[in-house]
Amino acid sequence: MPRGWADGTSKLLSSILLRRSLIHTTQKLSRGPRSFDHGFWLQAGYFLVPHKLELTGRWSRVVGNSGTLGAARQSADELAGGLAWYINRQHVKLTADLTHLDGAPINSAALDITPGDIGWLFRTQIQFSF
């Protein structure tokens, strides 16, 4: 659950990740090695135009030995910056961000990302809430 602080012009959000699991092998119905991942997510924002245009920055890091990070202990970092335009308060929002991935922890065909990827990602999204 993310935790945060906001004062009307600025905000700071954070979250931590702790994941421990047993890896079961499919060839032998026996327990494999234990995996443990941990990390954090930190995001800050500042309204350039109050309640309309927000400048954002994000940093996240995951460290561990699960299959999503590879067979050995690895880490993944994400640094991003972007803008969010609140078209109709929180009901309609357009965001655009530029992210640098250093060892991606996910596998996503839609984003053309595989575990361990290093590079840049430009993303836009529009969000509606009812």
pLDDT digits (tens, 9 = 90+) for 74-118: 788 999 999 999 999 889 999 999 999 988 777 788 888 887 788
Instruction: Decide if 21 contacts 12 (C-beta within 8 A).
Output: no
Write b or e for each residue in 88-112: b if 16 or more Cβ atoms lie within 10 A of its Cβ, otherwise e: eeeeebebebebebebbbeeeeeee
Query: Quick one: tokens of 124?
Result: 């836009």
Q: What is the pLDDT of residues 14-67, one digit of tens each?
A: 898 887 766 555 555 455 567 777 889 999 999 999 999 999 999 999 888 766
This model's pTM is above 0.95 = no
Give the CATH fold of the 3-128 domain.
Porin (2.40.160)
Question: What is the structure's pLDDT at 23?
Answer: 55
126, pLDDT greater than 70: yes
